[in-house]
Chains A and B, each alone.
Chain A
């Protein structure tokens, strides 16, 4: 059983398109996150939700919009994709602010 899952694993799209990445966790956690990992491997937090409420919103363009339909899901929608959005996006979850468990990542390539 996968603890934190993401779909799709790979996403290749054209500049200007809109795309979504889905994340689900079956760990019973109440907090979920989105991270962006660039080509230099640096992990940068984008958003955090606790019990479906946004608690962390780093300096991220408003083209990025997270949505949490319930505690087990946190989706990321990206409008008007740009070349600089190419990266690996990781979803993670935790119980409150304790240990975070990461998903396998979604490699986004914008052409």
Chain B
């Protein structure tokens, strides 16, 4: 089955800096890659996603890149704000979601 690895497990940045979270996957057939943000005491919320026919997608301060050859995808957050502090999960999917282990992002004011 699919195996998704996510790094780093924790990330601390200064407000205004950029943050990058990376994921790798093993099954080249996976074709959908969502990113979720989980705030304390809440359920994971979709923040951005990308499909295998696209290399990059951007939504305001958030962007995702996909390298199908290398089987890795990344989340980029620019101009980080304290409210970006949360746990972020990547996932790879064909007919089933396989989640990464999560990255706890701390944005220091």
Contact = CB atoms under 8 A, between A and B. Distances in A.
Interface residues of A, number: 19
Given A41-B87, A90-B43, A97 B49 contact: no
B46 interface: yes
Given A41-B102, A45-B96, A104 B43 contact: yes
Interface of B: 32, 34, 36, 38, 41-46, 49, 87, 89, 93-97, 99, 101-102, 104
Of all A-B residue pairs in the complex, the 8 with the closest CB atoms, nearest first, are A102-B43, A43-B99, A41-B102, A97-B95, A102-B44, A104-B43, A105-B43, A103-B43
A107 B32 CA distance: 29
Q: Could you tell me the dominant secondary structure of chain B's interface residues? A: strand
Contacts of A68: none
Contacts, number: 44
B46 A99 contact: yes
B34 A43 contact: no
A98 B43 CA distance: 18
Contacts of B101: 40-42
A47 to B, nearest CB: 12
Contacts of A105: 41-43
Nearest to A94: B97
